[in-house]
Structure 1
Amino acid sequence: MKNIIISITLLFFVVACKEDYLKEDPLSNLSAEKILTTPNGFNLYLTGLYVASREEMSMGDNTYFALNFASTDIGADAGVEYTGLRNYETTYTPNNTNLNLLWNWAYTQMILRANTLITYANKNGTSVWTDEKEKNKVIAVAKFFRAYTYNLLVNSFGGVPLVEEIYSTPKNDFKRATKEEILNFAKEDLLFAIQWLPTIAEEKTDGKITKGAAQHLLTEVYLGLGDNTSAISSASDLIGSGMYKIMTTRFGGKSTEAGDVFSDLFLDGNANRSSGNQESIFVWQFENMVNGGGSSLNGNVQIRNWAPFLSKIVDPDGKPMLVVDSLGRGVGRVRGTNYFLYDIWKPAPNDMRNSSYNMRRKFYYNNPSSKYFNTLVEKKTVYDDTMRNIYPYSRKIEGAPWANNATSGRSAKDVIVYRLAETYLLRAEAYLKAGRKDLSVLDINVLRSRAGIAPINEGEVTIDFLLDERARELTVEEPRRRVLVRLGVLVDRVKKYNLLEETRSSIQPYHLLFPIPQAAIDANYGYKLDQNTGY
């Protein structure tokens, strides 16, 4: 043992005398220089991009919901306690925390990671890859996410700085590109992605980006550019590919239980293609009780934000209503407006999308110690009850609780980002704008047929009707505010449909776009980053 110790000590001194030994080369350093040198390294880095994508919904707890649903035509910030999202003039300022989170997420997570992958994939040439296809598939995924992020930014802030490379030194003189420049850049990214991404049949792993996702996003980008002909072509390529279909028969693990095909789409475990769901195109993945399976907030936060604060409800004797495990713990951040909860269903009350399997409108006391146990909760008349604590909501958000904790307000349910039903509605929009109402109505009626309601005729097709149909089909799924911004109708529809007078009266034409975060303007001291008009 003594001889071994002496030998190791002598070896240390011999090596230590060499200059190279003093150069640090930590193997635990996960820098791009070290990771992006093998296909496995690139796939590891891609996982980080997928994780960042999922953070769009989870960052800031309510950021995604506050910016996309509250204070729109379908959602209101209506509880007495939550008053921060009601007034456009006092809420949406350059110092708004949620806007700063969104901006930083876009540039420091999504765009930076995508640019890093693209730069290093091209930098390392063919030495890393078995062939050009392997390299370009990685670049294609990165370009999809970069295009996704820029499309999101345009429909939030308008023209923004266009960053397409990574920098080795600080840069503080970014300039805003125009909306058209940003969207054309995204278009080119997506055309490349479509060329190299696998089809859904080739990419069998749930959650991975495929050609269909790029085609869907490209359709929306073309609509943003006002190129309706190309939007029709892109959507038609996807719809006609045969890779996806509108689900019209029951499927999934609960297909023999009470329900309908629309509810099957959103049952926990049914979002992905592996469940038999051939309608989903792009799905955020969550995995309960698995390291890395959640997010910065440990899970899907839809229940917390969309569902009412049921635990605050008391029976006529004052005993509390316990939260049922299957309902989780909502806190009433986003209450549906009367337009969404009632008005859009009046023409066809039997619409499958309004069934009891898809809209929860009845609640039952579930406190075993209450004499009202298992009885229907009576109509409430107190303002905070009706506006925050108990109201109807879409059951798309329901799922098994995260970490088996029903009070967390979170679930492990996967989240559908794109599905074919929206592709049909995007094409219907493009047909309408191109003057082809005859074809627009056919696409809308595909979904109405699945919903079991009467078809509409050409005379009924308008942008407003299309938005009604999107609300019936896509609420919770679509980032509603960004859709209204893209169509230029946010202000008018908030004034017409939002629940709250304070919201309706405070929104002004300049609120169509968010303000550029002041922190971004201040950091860009090498060049004046112009603020949006009105702020």
Structure 2
Amino acid sequence: MKSIKVKTFCAGALGLVMLASCSDWLDPKPLSFFTPENTFDTYAGLKSATDMLNRDVRYFDFYPTSGSAEPCILSEYWFSEMAVNGRTDANNVPVDLTALITPSASLSGNTSQINNYWTYLYKGIKDANTLLNRATTAQYENEEQRKEVEALAYFHRAYRYYRLVHQYGDVPFIVNEVTSPRYDFYTTKREVILKQLKEDLENSAAYLSNSVYVGQVSQAAAYHLLAKINLALGDFDAAIEAANKVINDGVHYLMTDRFGVDKNDPTKNVIWDLHQSENKHLPENKEVLYIVLDDYAQTDARSAAGLEIKRQILPWFTASGKVSTPDGKSAFVDNNETKNPYLLEYGRGVCSLRQTWYATHMIWTLDDTDLRHAPGNWMKMTDLKYNNPALKGTSEWYGKPLQMYNDKGECLIADTIRCWVDWPHYKTNVADQKANWWRGGWADWYVFRLAETYLLRAEAYVWKGEKNLAAADINKVRERAGARPITASEVSISQVLDERARELFYEEPRKCELTRIAYIYAKTGIPADNGKTYSLDKFSTENYFYDRIMSLTEFYNKGVKNAYGLTYTMQPYHVLWPIALKATSTNVEGHINQTPGYDGWENNIEPMDRPND
């Protein structure tokens, strides 16, 4: 069953400036407000707070944030080989990363969500620490209830720190409840943080259950996160052990048979079923490890923006003058679904997340049977037809497929970056609850599912050189998609990343996973697929993250300019994000190190090998 609306909570204030005001954390406003003193004294009160932490995962990744038309997850893709920012109507969008991404920049809203991630993740850490502290004195019916609450808090703290250390590197490690403003934090080493997260989950995951309401944290989700943390530490055997506890739990399995709302539609397939909004929370969907719920019927959802996934990913082909027929006429009518049924069928995109050739073409060359790239699931621009009613009787091109050039070789697209790109319709097909919305509305979304667990275990096997086992795990995912199985000789870390790109688009935090793998190469010295070796002491100037993006993207490595005149640029130090100057400069009684490569990092001191007191 689907869980009901939960209450919100706000406890204490972290001294980092951006976390000082509870009222600024989320939009829409909380449904209710209560304090730890009068709520966190019972099992029921503490469980309500863990439900709120689940809701926050939905907001900080997948929803457009306050003051922005774009969700934070887009920044995870702009800093990767899979996508760039496609907007050309502003000069402050993250295109020229060298110039724009600085500690003093306003990195929130449409200029990327770097600062918002810092705020939202530390807010969740503060709340998780509050629960851990209050869990020691609350009243329970039995000891299992206390252990469950603590395990949920450890999961949410670990989930957020996992993201922080792969977004910013070394960061303040706060493990105690903060009840008043503080300005005395110090940076802790990334590996120290990861080791503590590993210990926390190893000691607590067993107290969680796989029999939970959908939308709550399962035991499998905790072990899945533990597998990621073990990989980040280079403990590949432990990563395999954690993944085994998920894959072999007898509860979860890959969905290989048709199910859900369209299961009797012979034109669809299991890949389509897996990603339809109505099917994600169904009890029969056994692939779900952790999912965030969204229901438009809830009062708090009606004032928000919904996922807006169609708006973010689809090309801006509907707007007047963006796409022309070969005889020079407007291809479509905008903002009128009667005159342009594509608005209702596919949506109205503005292409904030513009996929690269790597994402739309390069990763799909292994075969032509992959359902994730098949007609009906995957849309190509040439699948669309000129449908402007004004073309009837006036142009021979009415009803014919789109083409990019006329017979003179002249481009028919006003902005090829923003208005011409393929997209995964099976993922963007999110219903609009509002009339004339066409953006992709309110829907559940995967955070962890079993397909990724197989790919995590496959990655661990690759690091260990056990390519036959890695191929078997990758092929579990590929065969479900109808794709050709790969051989052991084809297995590599690059192939794992390609399969993650095929399977987990708009689910995984792509930049974090690339950075995690770059750290592993630097820590172990294992030669990379590109023949190079890396080291931690040169991480900000030479790393696998940067080299992979430069070798695959057609933007950051080509001097490409967008229609606004901005050049796409990236530097090796973008493997990590800067920490806002406002956070470092106001921490006057301590010292928060700046990310290497950015202004101020020359003042860094040795990070601590323990948490902040």
Same structural fold, with TM-score higher than 0.5 when normalized by the shorter chain: yes
Letter in 2 for 1:363: L
1:265 aligns with 2:274: yes
Contact 2:228–2:239 (CA under 8 A) maintained in structure 1: yes
Matches within 5 A, 1:301-320: 301-312=308-319, 313-314=322-323, 316=325, 317-318=329-330, 320=333
Q: Secondary structure at the match of 2:433?
A: helix
The corresponding residue for 1:242 is: 250
Contact 2:323–2:413 (CA under 8 A) maintained in structure 1: no
Contact 1:281–1:418 (CA under 8 A) maintained in structure 2: yes
The corresponding residue for 2:122 is: 107
Q: Which moved more, 1:325-334 or 1:79-88?
A: 79-88
Q: Secondary structure at the match of 1:72?
A: coil
CA distance in 1, matches of 2:215, 2:398: 41
Q: Deviations over 1:120-145 (max 9, x none)?
A: 11133xxx211111122122212111
- What's the RMSD between the two structures over aligned residues? 2.2
Q: Secondary structure at the match of 2:34?
A: coil
CA distance in 1, matches of 2:404, 2:204: 52
1:363 aligns with 2:364: no
The corresponding residue for 2:548 is: 493
The corresponding residue for 2:47 is: 43
Q: Assess, with a 3 A threshold, how the Cα gap between structure 1 residues 250 and 82 changes in structure 2: closer, same or farther.
A: farther
Q: Deviations over 1:74-124 (max 9, x none)?
A: 11223432562222211221132222111111112x111111111111133
CA displacement at 1:505 relative to structure 2: 7.5
Q: Which moved more, 1:462-471 or 1:387-396?
A: 387-396
The corresponding residue for 1:328 is: 347
The corresponding residue for 1:14 is: none
CA distance in 2, matches of 1:328, 1:220: 35
TM-score under structure 2 length normalisation: 0.77
The corresponding residue for 1:24 is: none
Q: Assess, with a 3 A threshold, how the Cα gap between structure 1 residues 382 and 80 changes in structure 2: closer, same or farther.
A: farther
Q: Deviations over 1:353-395 (max 9, x none)?
A: 1112321112244555552665533336355443212321112
CA distance in 2, matches of 1:406, 1:502: 38
The corresponding residue for 1:339 is: 358
CA distance in 1, matches of 2:573, 2:190: 16
The corresponding residue for 1:511 is: 574
Contact 2:360–2:422 (CA under 8 A) maintained in structure 1: yes
CA distance in 1, matches of 2:492, 2:293: 35
Contact 1:326–1:398 (CA under 8 A) maintained in structure 2: no
Matches within 5 A, 1:247-258: 247-257=255-265, 258=267
The corresponding residue for 1:16 is: none
CA distance in 1, matches of 2:215, 2:372: 25
Contact 1:71–1:77 (CA under 8 A) maintained in structure 2: no
Q: Assess, with a 3 A threshold, how the Cα gap between structure 1 residues 227 and 82 changes in structure 2: closer, same or farther.
A: farther
CA displacement at 1:315 relative to structure 2: 5.1
Q: Deviations over 1:267-293 (max 9, x none)?
A: 12111242x221121111111232134
Of 420, 427, 435, the residue aligned with 2:465 is: 435
Q: Which moved more, 1:232-241 or 1:164-173?
A: 164-173
Q: Percent identity?
A: 30
Matches within 5 A, 1:441-452: 441-452=471-482
Of 378, 381, 385, the residue aligned with 2:403 is: 378
1:196 aligns with 2:207: yes
Letter in 1 for 2:403: E
CA displacement at 1:423 relative to structure 2: 0.5
The corresponding residue for 1:208 is: 216
Letter in 2 for 1:416: Y
CA distance in 1, matches of 2:69, 2:154: 27
Contact 1:76–1:86 (CA under 8 A) maintained in structure 2: yes
Q: Assess, with a 3 A threshold, how the Cα gap between structure 1 residues 288 and 399 changes in structure 2: closer, same or farther.
A: farther
Alignment gaps of 5+ in structure 2: 1-31, 335-339, 406-410, 519-543, 561-566, 599-613
CA distance in 1, matches of 2:141, 2:80: 49
Q: Deviations over 1:47-85 (max 9, x none)?
A: 321221111222344242442112421112234325622
Of 217, 220, 223, the residue aligned with 2:228 is: 220
CA distance in 2, matches of 1:392, 1:46: 39
Q: Deviations over 1:397-432 (max 9, x none)?
A: 324444323436241121111111111110010011
Contact 1:76–1:498 (CA under 8 A) maintained in structure 2: no
Contact 2:252–2:287 (CA under 8 A) maintained in structure 1: yes
CA distance in 2, matches of 1:130, 1:367: 66
Contact 1:76–1:499 (CA under 8 A) maintained in structure 2: no
Letter in 2 for 1:439: L
Contact 2:404–2:412 (CA under 8 A) maintained in structure 1: no
Of 177, 184, 188, the residue aligned with 1:173 is: 184
Alignment gaps of 5+ in structure 1: 1-27
Contact 1:194–1:211 (CA under 8 A) maintained in structure 2: yes
CA distance in 2, matches of 1:237, 1:168: 37
CA distance in 2, matches of 1:454, 1:251: 23
1:183 aligns with 2:194: yes
Contact 1:363–1:377 (CA under 8 A) maintained in structure 2: yes
Q: Secondary structure at the match of 1:422?
A: helix
Matches within 5 A, 1:386-405: 386-405=416-435
Contact 2:276–2:430 (CA under 8 A) maintained in structure 1: no
The corresponding residue for 1:291 is: 299
Aligned residues: 499
Q: Secondary structure at the match of 2:171?
A: coil
Letter in 2 for 1:509: P
CA distance in 2, matches of 1:527, 1:139: 29
Letter in 2 for 1:103: W
Q: Secondary structure at the match of 1:251?
A: coil
TM-score under structure 1 length normalisation: 0.88
Q: Deviations over 1:215-236 (max 9, x none)?
A: 1110000000000000011101
The corresponding residue for 2:36 is: 32
CA displacement at 1:466 relative to structure 2: 1.3
Letter in 2 for 1:47: D
Q: Assess, with a 3 A threshold, how the Cα gap between structure 1 residues 364 and 232 changes in structure 2: closer, same or farther.
A: same
Q: Secondary structure at the match of 2:224?
A: helix
Letter in 2 for 1:377: L
The corresponding residue for 2:140 is: 129
CA distance in 2, matches of 1:236, 1:144: 18
CA distance in 2, matches of 1:269, 1:29: 31
The corresponding residue for 1:527 is: 590
Contact 1:335–1:391 (CA under 8 A) maintained in structure 2: yes
CA displacement at 1:43 relative to structure 2: 2.8
Structure of larger gyration radius: 1
CA distance in 2, matches of 1:326, 1:402: 11
CA distance in 2, matches of 1:273, 1:192: 30
